[in-house]
Amino acid sequence: MDKRFVFDLTLPEWEAWGKERGFPRYRAEQIYQWFVRGVQDTSRMKNIPDSIRAALAEDYILNGLTVEKELTSEIDGTKKFIFRLHDGHRVETVLMKYKTGYSLCISSQAGCKMGCAFCASAHAGFGRSLTSGEMLGQITVISDIMGERIHSVVVMGIGEPFDNYDQLIIFLKAANDPHGLNLGARHITISTCGLVPQMIKFIGIDLQVNLSVSLHASKDLLRRSMMPVAGLYDLDTLLDTCRQYVTKTGRRITFEYSLFQGINDSVSDARDLANRLRGIHCHINLIAANEFEGSRYMRSTPDHVRLFQQTLEQMGMTVTLRREMGTDIMAACGQLRRGMQESEQT
């Protein structure tokens, strides 16, 4: 399809379109501000003439993000949104409420090609990468629905952000644009499974965006059995790149570590992890792993989780245990999308 999604366009692009169409220049700013607010329905744009609304519908994709399902946790109020894209693909977005405000976990791809053995998204197939506007729209549409500003964003939903590198960078700059969404770079976190070449490129951009790396193992052999990407970039290479990030940006890096029973949750594993990461300005975020039907990866017991955390702390590491949210609505990335697709296929 040649048409672009309206959320993909920058203000200068709207100005160029308006000039081509013969509309007054100030109309571009009006249009842009509606889309920055997450509005896709032109009938809500009361200050835009019918002729311009018709031109928008003619030239662009308007309803590129449709909420197909919205679930609310009875436990903690976490919300999960299933968006259907204009071409039928689905993505998941999770809204969480903290004392500091709303935090949103967005998707960067419809599906994922990384093939991590423990991930529900990997078993649901890959559709395509999202455009920058489809990433941005997850923020603005949900902000419009909730009537509140989103405080922070993590690109940690379905997909590997660095596998969609070019659109990711466009998204980051658009989200950070003071004339647009104006979301502070330090309020954005990118999570990667460790695509080293893209990480090196990312280090060179002048944005104070947080970086989170999915580690899940402290030894190459084990990590390769869980994450195919580890067959391309071993731990020494990955961690050297992480050191470059810390040195270049002066920012602390986060390592995500999901705990799986009898696989990577022993005291010995904790000690190996601490030794691997020693000297890197980092924070370890332990995750009580999510299970899904057909997976051999089972979550660690609470006792093993506590012992693992205590061992890391005793060895001088900064550690937190990720708070579980929305467990009654399958808020973990990929779970609900996978279930919906399987139901349709059945």
Annotated catalytic sites, by residue? 92, 333
- Tell me the C-alpha distance between 234 and 240, whole Å: 10
Q: What are the respective helix, strand and coil percentages of the chain, to the nearest 5?
A: 40, 20, 35
Extract the tokens encoding 40: 């896709």
Alpha helices in 126-219 (DSSP H): 132-146, 165-176, 196-203
Residue 68 and residue 82 in contact, taking contact as beta carbons nearer than 8 Å: yes
- Tell me the C-alpha distance between 307 and 290, whole Å: 19
* Beta-strand pair 253-259/282-288: parallel
Q: What angle do CA 193, 195, 200 make, to 5 degrees?
A: 125
Helix axes 11-21, 50-59, angle to 10 degrees: 110
- Please choose, from the candidates 25, 23, 29, the residue with its C-alpha nearest in 3D space to the C-alpha of residue 49: 23
